[in-house]
């Protein structure tokens, strides 16, 4: 507002210079818009447009070619009352999120603390643990399918050395989701890096003060380290919650022809939605599913945000 005010004042002032088409400010403003135009146009055409269309589409029986008629809440009704697979897929997704998010977060923090110690070779270990986070996608999943192979896979071979007969990871419905979570734990490195950075930002003087007071390692960890990195933990939690609900690729690649694995044990919400949309082209229904997922994630994120002030500690903020 201030700049606008300034502009208005300027304009009111007597001015005998030859009239230019644009004032300097206008020009700058215009250039600014030009600079953001590619993003704005892209956003409107490729994101906002489809988003709004999918909201409308979720109330229709859209199937790409033959129908786009308004059917009210039928898709939503069907989803909640008549589609058993929807509940299976929702349950699978919740199972995955509920177990993998806490595990990966705790694992990443632990790893970061270990790698923050001043021991020889730390840099090498940091690189090694971070490497898997660089690799991603289908290649990694195929690799893990071999590692998890029941008789010849490395995982079960290792287990057999200590006398455990490993399960048939990806073909026994009771073990498919644990196998997937196990695989996800392998790529903790991304989160670890964030924590490592924030650990290095924790002021040494806090530890010194605690040592003088006679605090041991655990007290220091729980009363200094952990509170100081809560903002990062919070950020990591929120993003992994969202990412967790969107799990799709892993199940699509690691189950036969993307059907959701043995006895639907890997049929995640997004996979079911994808099947509805691109296998049977029941687009309207799939759009409705995507909006329900959006609402679930939105609600969880809001809860997360509301709970945050109770445990997230920002530096320089007074504890109330």
Partner 1 sequence: MKAATKSIKLLLSLILSLTLLLTACSSNGGQGADSDKNSEGKVVIDFWTFWGSEIRRPVIEKIIQDFNNSQDKIEVKHTYLPFGDIWTKNLASIAAGKPADVIINDINQVAHRAQNNQNTNLSKYMEKDPEVKDRFFPELYKASLYKGEPYALPFNTDTRMLFYNKDMFKEVGLDPNKPPATWEELEEYGKKLDIKNGKNYDRIGYLPNYKMGAEVWMINADGKSYWDYKKEKPIIDDPSNIEALTWFKDYYDYYGSNVINKFQAEFGEETADPFISGKLAMTTETTNFFTKIRDYGEDINFGIAPLPAKEPGKSQTSWGGGFVAEIPKGAEHPDEAWEFLKYLTDVQAQEHWAVKGFDNVANIEASKKAAENPEFSEDGKMVYTASVKNLEETIITPVPLQAPDFTNLINPELEKVLLGKQSPKEGLKKAQRAVEQLVKNNK
- Residue numbers at the binding site for partner 1 (CB under 8 A): 4, 7, 22-23, 25-26, 29-30, 33-34, 37, 41, 63-67, 78, 82, 84-85, 149-153, 168, 171-173, 259-260, 262-264, 275-276, 278-281
C-beta closer to partner 1: residue 15 or 216: 15
Whichever of 22 and 56 has its CB closer to partner 1, that residue is 22
CB of 280 to partner 1, least distance (A): 4
Beta carbon nearer to partner 1, 145 or 185: 145
CA angle 174, 299, 49 (to 5 degrees): 100
| Cβ at position 45, least distance to partner 1 in Å | 9
Q: 132 is written with which tokens? A: 């898997």
Q: C-beta of 58: minimal distance to partner 1 in Å?
A: 16
Q: List helix spans (H) across 135-188.
A: 138-147, 154-161, 173-185
CB nearer to partner 1: pick between 78 and 313: 78
Helix, strand, or coil (residue 276): helix
Toward partner 1, which CB reaches closer, 112 or 266?
A: 266
In the complex, minimum distance from the CB of residue 282 to partner 1, in angstroms, rounded to a whole number:
8
CA distances from 24 to 2, 8, 30 (A): 16, 13, 10
In the three-class reduction of DSSP (H, G, I as helix; E, B as strand; rest coil), residue 285 is classed as: helix
Smallest gap from Cβ 180 to partner 1, in A, equals 17
Q: For residue 119, count other CB atoms closer than 10 A to its CB.
A: 8
Question: Which CB atom, from 27 or from 219, has the smaller least distance to partner 1?
Answer: 27
Minimum Å distance from CB 186 to partner 1?
Answer: 21
Cβ 296 to partner 1 shortest distance, Å: 22
Nearest approach in angstroms of CB 50 to partner 1 is 13
Distances (CA, A) of 81 to 1, 75, 77, 84, 168: 52, 10, 6, 8, 34
Distances (CA, A) of 128 to 68, 182, 197, 265, 312: 53, 18, 17, 32, 30
Q: Is 70 helix (H, G, I), strand (E, B) or coil?
A: strand
- Rounded Cα distance, 49 and 284, in Å: 16
Q: CB-based contacts of 7: which residues, under 8 Å, 6+ apart?
A: 23, 25
Instruction: Write the burial class of residue 259 (CB in 10 Å: 0-12 exposed, 13-18 middle, 19+ buried).
Output: middle
**191 or 258, CB closer to partner 1?**
258
C-beta closer to partner 1: residue 167 or 191: 167
């Amino acid at each position: 507002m201030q700049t606008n005010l300034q502009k208005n004042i300027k304009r009111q002032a007597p001015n005998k210079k030859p009239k230019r088409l644009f004032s300097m400010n206008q020009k700058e403003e215009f250039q600014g818009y030009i600079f953001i135009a590619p993003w704005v146009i892209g956003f409107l055409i490729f994101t906002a447009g489809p988003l709004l269309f999918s909201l409308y589409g979720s109330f229709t029986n859209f199937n790409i070619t033959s129908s786009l008629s308004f059917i009210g809440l039928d898709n939503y009704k069907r989803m909640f009352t008549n589609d058993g697979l929807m509940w299976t897929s929702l349950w699978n997704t919740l199972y995955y999120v509920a177990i993998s998010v806490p595990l990966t977060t705790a694992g990443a923090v632990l790893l970061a603390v270990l790698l923050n110690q001043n021991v020889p070779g730390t840099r090498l270990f940091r690189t090694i643990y971070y490497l898997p986070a660089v690799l991603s996608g289908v290649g990694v999943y195929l690799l893990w399918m071999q590692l998890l192979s029941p008789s010849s896979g490395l995982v079960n071979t290792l287990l057999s050395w200590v006398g455990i007969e490993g399960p048939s990871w990806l073909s026994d419905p009771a073990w498919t989701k644990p196998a997937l979570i196990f695989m996800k734990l392998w790529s903790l490195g991304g989160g670890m890096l964030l924590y490592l950075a924030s650990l290095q930002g924790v002021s040494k003087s806090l530890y010194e003060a605690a040592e003088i007071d006679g605090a041991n390692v655990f007290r220091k960890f729980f009363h200094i380290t952990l509170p100081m990195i809560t903002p990062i933990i919070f950020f990591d939690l929120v993003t992994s919650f969202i990412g967790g609900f969107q799990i799709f690729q892993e199940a699509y690649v690691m189950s036969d022809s993307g059907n959701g694995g043995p006895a639907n044990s890997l049929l995640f919400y997004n996979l079911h939605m994808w099947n509805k949309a691109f296998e049977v082209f029941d687009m309207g229904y799939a759009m409705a599913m995507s909006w329900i997922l959006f609402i679930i994630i939105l609600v969880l994120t809001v809860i997360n945000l509301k709970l945050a002030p109770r445990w997230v500690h920002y530096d320089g903020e007074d504890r109330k």
